[in-house]
Amino acid sequence: EVLKHIETVEPKVKAFLSVTAESALNTAKQVDTKIASGESIGILEGIPLGVKDNMCTKGIKTTCASQILANFVPPYESTVTQKLKDAGVVLVGKTNLDEFAMGSSTENSGFQVTANPWDLARVPGGSSGGSAAAVAAGECVVALGSDTGGSIRQPASFCGVVGLKPTYGLVSRYGLVAYASSLDQIGPFSRTVEDSAILLNAIAGYDNYDSTSLKVDIPDYTQYLQPELKKGLKVGIITETFGEGLDSVVAETVQKAIALLESMGAEVKEISCPRFRYGLPVYYMIASSEASANLARYDAVKYGVREESEDLLNMYTNTRASGFGAEVKRRIMLGTYALSAGYYDAYYLKAQKVRTLIKQDFDNAFADVDVLVCPTAPSTAFKAGEKTDDPLSMYLSDLMTIPVNLAGLPGISIPCGFDSQGLPIGLQLISNVLREDVLFHVAHAYE
């Protein structure tokens, strides 16, 4: 049914870079046989999954939506997809993204532009726009995305689905193509908070192959899903997120959502995070620096497409000049500049120091409240092409999600209403490190 549905809607939505119909049917048939023979099946067995095309899938093309990896077929499987395979999930395809996960609209893909299923003239958000759109359009039940500065939560908000960015280190990044290694984290897209908890149960946990993976016990996250809010739950509204640049309808809708939490018994108060406003410049300094180092590996020797040349240096430069898109080049140049001798202290090191101050704002907040709330994005989905010529206004889409990555915290976006044109609005909940239990608890009770 899902494959048929993909055939019908995919020409309009363009969420997938590849659809793995044959292997999907085979896996599904195996589950069918099990059911027919009366065997019991696991909760995720037979569930159709979409995977952002920056996670390695053995024998299946993994392009990061970049021309430079147009022909790359990984020889190994990422930990997350291996875990889900083991759980019996059916991979239906690899989803579109902004090239190397750099962007907020999925328009930076080197292959195609994905449409927002709620209004095809609008973007699905990014960079995991393909995964968000696929879940919203019913092309899969759940999907995986990666979130470096908002790439799960912002597209979830634009597409009216649930998107979770877990605590940094909770989910293994082994096999996730690196963008900015101190910020990247994999997480689920789903229609409901319950599905999000079920998927996190399956993908969280220590992995020897990821040196930043946390050695912690993983609870069953579904135990925190209850209809009522815990007594005495303290909710903090981040004052700074309701300032300039926020659409009035987003502000009103999120305020209503907060009022609902209050009517459910939550104690609500305002919390100031004064250093939040430095998040954007700090992020673009750190993320671009790390990206410039991570992307040095695309040298036409070890992976991907090669522009042949007699001369080695020309081979490198010609391949990189034609293989990378404009946004990726912009980040590599910015990052290389910031890391160069003489500038490192002024830019990269300074940004790391301010990052610590942003983390301190969150530490102070969580001494006072259990969960922070704010809009996920300053606006609803914008029109395709509207921000492509203005990188700065595109960067502003992540104003409210970026500080969460800088501090390594978990955050979830859940749908909380619509604007006057029927476009979904997202509510972001943020909790302290490894307190996904609080996020699921509050998000589920709200939902």
- The whole-angstrom separation of Cα 150 and Cα 428 is 11
Binding segment for ligand GLN (CB under 6 A), chosen from 20-28, 59-67, 141-149, 350-358, is 141-149
β-strand pairing of 371-375 with 234-238: parallel
Contact flag: residue 287 with ligand GLN (CB under 6 A): yes
Question: 434's torsion region: left (phi>0), alpha (psi -120 to 50) or beta?
Answer: left
- The whole-angstrom separation of Cα 221 and Cα 39 is 26
Contact flag: residue 151 with ligand GLN (CB under 6 A): yes
Contact flag: residue 148 with ligand GLN (CB under 6 A): yes
Contact flag: residue 398 with ligand GLN (CB under 6 A): yes
Binding segment for ligand GLN (CB under 6 A), chosen from 100-108, 112-120, 201-209, 300-308, is 100-108
Catalytic pick from 66, 127, 172, 289?
127
Catalytic pick from 78, 104, 151, 196?
151
3-class SS of residue 18:
strand
- Quote the least distance from Cβ 125 to ligand GLN, whole Å: 9
**Within 217-276, which residues bind ligand GLN (CB under 6 A)?**
none
Give Cα separations from 279 to 185, 370, 436 (angstroms). 18, 22, 22
- Quote the least distance from Cβ 391 to ligand GLN, whole Å: 9
Binding segment for ligand GLN (CB under 6 A), chosen from 99-107, 220-228, 346-354, 374-382, is 99-107
Q: In what order do the strands lie in the sheet with 48-52?
A: 16-19, 90-95, 48-52, 142-146, 186-190, 162-165, 411-418, 424-431, 371-375, 234-238, 267-271
Catalytic pick from 14, 52, 83, 387?
52
- Is the Cβ–Cβ distance between 377 and 400 less than 8 Å? yes
Contact flag: residue 88 with ligand GLN (CB under 6 A): no
Give a three-class secondary structure readout of 95-128: ECCCHHHCCCCCCCCCCCCCCECCECCECCCCCC
β-strand pairing of 48-52 with 142-146: parallel
Give Cα separations from 229 to 11, 198, 225, 232, 435 (angstroms). 42, 20, 10, 9, 16
Residue closer to ligand GLN (CB basis): 106 or 431: 106
- Quote the least distance from Cβ 65 to ligand GLN, whole Å: 12
Q: Is 29 assigned a catalytic role?
A: no
- The whole-angstrom separation of Cα 38 and Cα 304 is 46
Contact flag: residue 175 with ligand GLN (CB under 6 A): no
User: Which tokens go with 445?
Assistant: 């009770």
Binding segment for ligand GLN (CB under 6 A), chosen from 102-110, 116-124, 230-238, 367-375, is 102-110
Contact flag: residue 103 with ligand GLN (CB under 6 A): yes
Nearest to 372 by CA among 380, 364, 382: 364
Contact flag: residue 150 with ligand GLN (CB under 6 A): yes
Q: Is 350 assigned a catalytic role?
A: no
Residue closer to ligand GLN (CB basis): 92 or 183: 183
Contact flag: residue 104 with ligand GLN (CB under 6 A): yes
- Is the Cβ–Cβ distance between 165 and 173 less than 8 Å? no
Q: Is 234 assigned a catalytic role?
A: no
Phi, psi of 371 (to 5 degrees): -145, 145
Contact flag: residue 101 with ligand GLN (CB under 6 A): yes
- Is the Cβ–Cβ distance between 329 and 100 less than 8 Å? no
Using CB atoms, what's the residue nearest to ligand GLN?
151
- The whole-angstrom separation of Cα 251 and Cα 248 is 5
Contact flag: residue 117 with ligand GLN (CB under 6 A): no
Kindly write out the interface string for residues 400-429 of this chain, putting x where it contacts ligand GLN by CB under 6 A and - elsewhere. Answer: ------------------------------
Residue closer to ligand GLN (CB basis): 20 or 63: 63
Give Cα separations from 161 to 82, 123, 314 (angstroms). 24, 14, 45
Q: Where are the alpha helices (DSSP H) in 14-140?
A: 21-36, 79-86, 129-136
Binding segment for ligand GLN (CB under 6 A), chosen from 97-105, 110-118, 310-318, 409-417, is 97-105
Residue closer to ligand GLN (CB basis): 16 or 179: 179
Binding segment for ligand GLN (CB under 6 A), chosen from 79-87, 95-103, 259-267, 344-352, is 95-103
Residue closer to ligand GLN (CB basis): 2 or 338: 338
Residue closer to ligand GLN (CB basis): 155 or 323: 155
List residues with catalytic annotation.
Answer: 52, 127, 151
- Site residues for ligand GLN per CB under 6 A: 101-104, 127, 147-151, 179, 287, 398
